[in-house]
């Protein structure tokens, strides 16, 4: 095995996307070497990861509301309701988006597109914090 | 290139999730080294991978039924029907979930969250077996 | 860090899937070593990646039309409309599919299943070209 594993925590204020690009980029800058791969992993089942447009916040907002409409709270289909009305929709949203993402690295820089940002996507209402694990290899 | 590639087969009894966490974890334990990355890949187009809650089976059951309702059999949209009514829904479900997943490793252990399990998600009705390929590097 | 990063461009003729398996496979063949991992990344937010059946084009066509029905243009929910009616649906489709995919490699060959192809999935109408970044390590 090779590479380096780091972790950081992300404060969340309920549902929504929190951009983590600069925190991941800082870990990549610290790592040594010319070319490699940066993998971001989220150890949660009711929050996820997404790479999306970071220029216009209305794109994130539309994405958030579209997914909330597709996976609404209070759906009579749900039997897993003991952890609150936002729990099962959060699991479904997490399953439809990413738990891990890999971005190639060159010259100490993530090779993201011009408009791409890496986001933690919180799917529950509660404020709190989430953990993100990063492997650079 | 580096790392080690292993394969195993998973018996499936029709649609549903089969937890494969312990089988992946055993491969990680065998591998040498302190920190690394474990990537799971499924070489099929009508089954997929998902990391989800493994504590309460009702969460998996709701996820299964929710996706079956979103992507029903018998949709008149489908023209690719020659392989049976469950084939095209299976391809769509696979496209909406994961074909590969990467989990960071430290001290011979997958850095999964407390409630996370790795599942093979079978989308067809037939019993049989599926192959899973694991890279540890 | 280790491995090798390459890029190529893919001409697109509006919405639809373009198979890129042979271009990725050629990079894998060039790379040295017995076992490893190939990661494909797309630096765009309105196109994505998918591994799907490459034998029968009707499967790709159904997948395309199914997703277009799930995420239609002209949905009154959208506020991010300044870049055209196909822009916000493209972001949503990209978020529901993959931005990165990893495929294990053995003996200079991608360990894809018999029927699997790697596709760039263009979600906008315009002709043009997209970039794909590949890490082999």
Contact C35 B1 (CB under 8 A): yes
The pLDDT score that the predictor gives to residue A38 is 98
Taking residues A78-105, what's their average pLDDT? Answer: 97
- In the DSSP assignment, the letter for residue A98 is B
* Chain A residue at shortest CA distance from B49: A95
Q: Which of C1, C53, C135 best tests the B interface by mutation, with the highest count of B CBs <10 A?
A: C53
Outline where C71-118 has alpha helix (H). Answer: 87-96
Is A41–B103 a contact, with Cβ atoms under 8 angstroms apart? Answer: yes
Report the mean per-residue pLDDT for chain B.
97
Q: DSSP state, C25?
A: H
pLDDT attached to residue C120: 98
The domain B4-136 is placed in CATH, from the list 3.40.50.150, 2.60.120.460, 3.30.420.40, 1.10.1130.10, at: 2.60.120.460
pLDDT digits (tens, 9 = 90+) for C4-35: 999 999 999 999 999 999 999 999 999 988 89
Q: Residue C33's pLDDT is what?
A: 80
Q: What is the mean pLDDT of chain C?
A: 97
Residues A39-61: tens digit of each pLDDT: 999 999 999 999 999 999 999 99
* Record: contact A96-B98, CB cut-off 8 A: no
CB < 8 Å to C65, chain B: 77
Helix (H, G, I), strand (E, B) or coil at B112: coil
Q: What is the pTM of this model?
A: 0.98
Minimum mean pLDDT range among A126-130, B55-59, B88-92 = B55-59
User: What pLDDT band is residue B61 in, cutting at 50, 70 and 90?
Assistant: very high
Size of interface A-C (CB pairs under 8 A): 105
Residue A33: the pLDDT is: 80
Least Cα distance to C87 among C8, C9, C15, C4 occurs for C15
Distance (Å) from the alpha carbon of C65 to chain B's nearest alpha carbon: 8
The full set of domain ranges for chain C reads: 4-136
Give the confidence band of B95 by pLDDT, cuts at 50, 70, 90: very high
As a whole number of angstroms, the distance between CA A18 and CA A20 comes to: 6
């Amino acid at each position: 095995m090779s590479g380096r594993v780091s972790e950081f925590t992300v404060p969340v204020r309920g549902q929504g996307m929190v951009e983590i690009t600069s925190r991941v980029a800082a870990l990549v800058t610290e790592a040594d070497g010319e070319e490699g791969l940066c993998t971001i992993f989220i150890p949660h089942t009711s929050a996820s990861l997404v790479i999306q447009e970071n220029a216009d916040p209305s794109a994130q907002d539309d994405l958030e509301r579209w997914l909330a409409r597709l996976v609404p709270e209070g759906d009579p289909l749900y039997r897993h309701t003991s952890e609150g009305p936002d729990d099962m929709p959060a699991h479904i949203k997490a399953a439809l988006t990413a738990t891990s993402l890999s971005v190639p690295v060159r010259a100490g820089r993530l090779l993201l597109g011009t408009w791409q940002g890496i986001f933690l996507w919180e799917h529950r209402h509660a404020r709190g914090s989430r953990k993100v694990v990063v492997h650079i290899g």
